[in-house]
Amino acid sequence: MTWVFAVVGLVAVVLLGLVLVGRETARLAGAARPAVFDLAEATVFIADQVAPEVQARISLDDVRWILLADADLLEEATADPDERRYPWSRHPLVAGRPIPVRDATGEVVGSGDEGPADPFGQVVDEDLPVARIFTVAEETGRDLADEDIAAVLDARLAYLEAIGAIGGQAADSPPGS
């Protein structure tokens, strides 16, 4: 008689497990995949997207360096003071905050105090990233033209669209019209 209860209990546990796993599988199958920015994948994608003239002037390392420098600018421009990783790096955002200078390997080697000031504080102007990256590139001795930097940043938008992080341009007409 005990073995009957054991078999019924085992069947109930297996059935419960199958129902729960099936339900979660169905739920996850219908959910959108999160967009993840993979630096290695983005570097290759962007290098393929830029014009052939730009490809001839810059390397994959330059593309990676531009993406990292731009990420530093975005982090500095948009992070709240208490979102910083370490307490001693938590300082209030002010207009004119520089972005860190990175070397060829992506390591921070300077504070970036020599770059142009951010006149907008937390608002990132579309020309500001090119100016800041160009200034940081000059400080680190990288031979990058401003049109090369702009081409990489424009191709980055195509990558963000490809991974689903951003959508196409919204229509100018208001909703409901």
Is the pTM here over 0.85, yes or no? no
Token pair 């109930």 in the structure block, residue = 12
Question: Could you tell me if 48 and 11 lie in one domain?
Answer: no
Indicate whether 131 and 153 sit together in one domain: yes
Do 22 and 81 lie in one domain? The reply is no
The predicted model gives 15-40 an average pLDDT of 85
**Do 64 and 2 belong together in one domain?**
no
Q: How far apart are CA 173 and CA 177, in angstroms?
A: 7
pLDDT at 45: 94
Q: Are residues 112 and 153 in the same domain?
A: yes
Instruction: State the pLDDT at residue 36.
Output: 82
Contact status, residue 148 vs residue 58, Cβ threshold 8 Å? yes
Residues 55 and 21 in one domain: no
Q: Residue 89 domain-assigned? A: yes
Across the chain, mean pLDDT equals 76
Range of the domain at 139: 39-162
pLDDT score at 63: 93
Domain-located, residue 150:
yes
Between 81 and 128, whose confidence is greater?
A: 128
- Quick one: 71 and 8 in the same domain? no
Sign of CA dihedral 25, 31, 32, 35: negative
Q: Which one, of 71, 77, 127, 124, lies nearest residue 98 by Cα?
A: 77
Kindly calculate the radius of gyration of the chain based on its CA atoms and give it in whole angstroms.
24
Give the count of alpha carbons within 13 A of 50, CB side only.
Answer: 24
Task: Indicate whether 134 belongs to any domain.
Answer: yes
Q: What is the pLDDT of residues 45-98, one digit of tens each?
A: 999 999 999 999 999 999 999 998 888 877 766 665 555 555 555 444 444 555
Do 89 and 128 lie in one domain? The reply is yes
Give the SS3 label for residue 136.
Answer: helix
- pLDDT exceeds 90 at position 101: no
Q: Are residues 58 and 84 in the same domain?
A: yes
Q: Are both 64 and 25 inside the same structural domain? A: no
Residues 94 and 132 in one domain: yes
Number of domains in the chain: 2
The confidence band for 140, taking pLDDT boundaries of 50, 70 and 90, is confident
Residue 44: pLDDT above 90? yes
Query: Taking Cα atoms as reference points, which of 71, 33, 55, 61 lies closest to residue 156?
Result: 71
Give pLDDT tens digits for 80-94. Answer: 555 555 555 544 444
Question: Is 5 a domain residue?
Answer: yes
